[in-house]
Amino acid sequence: MRWITNIYRLGVKEIFSLLRDPVLMGLIFYTFTFAIYTVAHGVQTELRNASIAVVDEDRSELSGQITGAFLPPYFKTPSEIDLGAVDPGMDAGRYTFVLDIPPDFEADVLAGRIPEIQLNVDATAMTIAGNGATYISSIVNAELLKFVSRSSGSVVLPVELRVRAKYNPNLDSTWFMAVMQLINNLTILAIILSGAAVIREREHGTLEHLLVMPVTSSEIMLAKIWANGLVIVLAAVLSLQFIVQGLLGIPIVGSIALFTLGSAVYLFAVTAMGITLSTLATTMPQFGLLSIPVFVVMNLLSGGITPLESMPQGLQNTVQVLPSTHFIKFAQAVLYRGAGIEIVWPQLLATTIIGVAFFAFGLARFRATLASAR
């Protein structure tokens, strides 16, 4: 009971210390409000208002029909340019796509020949380039089908493809970006707050006070983990309720209680990682520089931005040691697809095992740090 009491009282001290830090409190508020809202609205992966130009060398009914099919909100009104203006326009960044319709294009189509249309794509913005090329191909094929069916009677296709998007029926990237940004912010705050708690003790000289008290290193570390984890879980749940669901209007089909449980398990692992990093640094700037590459790797290689299946097999196996890899699978299954505990328990178990391993290593490092400070 004394062990539990010490952990509780040290944790309460940690919470009051955090509440008295206006910089960290401001960071928590910004991270779970404005940072999520602005990223969800500002970062879009779907095609919107793409600039397109058309080189119409045919000047036929069909070429005009194709040109007129590029409509908002996917494309801006097409600009008609000459062939010689293609390279200068794309070099200057005025056009993302340039469609070149060759001479006698309509006549070749009616004669049953196979004419070619050239599409020039500025692939600097890779996502927009890929999505836009697919849209343009679909639009051109649809207009060709309309024109041919009107000229030679009905054309019956052997296969009719009907696409039904599940979990995000409007294919709105805001739904994805808001939740992924919340998870990323949860990760970086867990690392920063837990590590800053140790660095703050060292810089303020209160670490020496703890050393003369009848407390153990495990009690100190567990107190920092539960206190900082509680603050972050509470902030994440409030952000999910009032920012993601309320302000952004994104539906959450899964159990928020289950997500809270998974977040608590995940934060146990990540805060232990943050304390481990703080034992390797002596000042806050060093800790910041050390934590940045760790967070970047966890952010980019955990499956939240790039699917794990697209990575090399060796890298897929390596990132399994990161708790974020399993938590992102858990969060997407719960929040997007409404999965229950019977589906996501393997991710919870893997996160727990990784968290225990990080805690054991971090505790050994923390004990060594306390021993050197005596």
- Count the helix, strand and coil residues of the chain and give each as a percent rounded to the nearest 5: 70, 5, 25
* Residue range 244-263: mean pLDDT, rounded: 90
* Residue range 126-147: mean pLDDT, rounded: 87
Q: What is the pLDDT of residue 213?
A: 74
Q: Return mean pLDDT, the chain.
A: 86
- Domain map (residue ranges) of the chain: 2-43+172-373, 52-152
Say if residue 155's pLDDT is above 60: no
Q: What is the pLDDT of residue 316?
A: 87
Q: Where are the beta strands (DSSP E) in the chain?
A: 52-56, 79-80, 97-101, 118-121
Q: What is the pLDDT of residue 65?
A: 92
For the entire predicted model, the pTM comes to 0.79
Query: Measuring CA to CA, how many Å separate 153 from each of 62, 145, 148, 149, 342?
Result: 16, 11, 8, 5, 55
Q: What is the pLDDT of residue 264?
A: 93
* Residue range 230-241: mean pLDDT, rounded: 92
Q: pLDDT above 70 covers what percent of the chain?
A: 94
CATH topology of domain 52-152: abc type-2 transporter like fold (3.40.1710)
Greater confidence (121 vs 208) lies with: 121
Cα gap 102→116, rounded to integer Å: 8
pLDDT in tens, 84-113: 999 999 999 899 999 999 999 999 988 888
What does the buried/exposed string (b/e) look like for 36-71 if buried means 16 or more CB atoms within 10 Å of the residue's CB?
A: bbebbeeeeeebeebbbbbbbebebebbeebbeebe
* Residue range 188-211: mean pLDDT, rounded: 78
Say if residue 119's pLDDT is above 90: yes
Cis check for the bond before 103: say yes or no (omega within 30 of 0). no
Query: Residue 302: which residues within 8 A CB-CB, separation 6 or more?
Result: 319, 322, 324, 325, 327, 328
pLDDT in tens, 332-370: 899 888 889 999 999 999 999 999 998 898 888 878 776
pLDDT in tens, 11-65: 898 888 888 888 888 989 999 999 998 888 777 777 888 899 999 999 999 999 9
* Residue range 165-170: mean pLDDT, rounded: 80
Say if residue 67's pLDDT is above 60: yes
CA angle 149, 152, 154 (to 5 degrees): 45
Q: What is the pLDDT of residue 20?
A: 86
Q: What is the pLDDT of residue 170?
A: 77
Contact 189, 267 (CB under 8 A): no
CA angle 326, 327, 328 (to 5 degrees): 95
Q: What is the pLDDT of residue 60?
A: 92
Banded model confidence at residue 180, pLDDT cuts 50, 70, 90: confident
Comparing 57-66, 126-135, 253-262, the range with the smallest average pLDDT is 126-135
Taking each helix axis from N to C end, the angle separating 34-42 and 173-204, rounded to the nearest 10 degrees, works out to 150
Banded model confidence at residue 220, pLDDT cuts 50, 70, 90: confident
Q: What is the pLDDT of residue 306?
A: 77
Q: What is the pLDDT of residue 80?
A: 93
Query: Measuring CA to CA, how many Å separate 79 from each of 104, 133, 175?
Result: 21, 17, 32
Comparing 21-35, 187-201, 205-219, the range with the smallest average pLDDT is 205-219
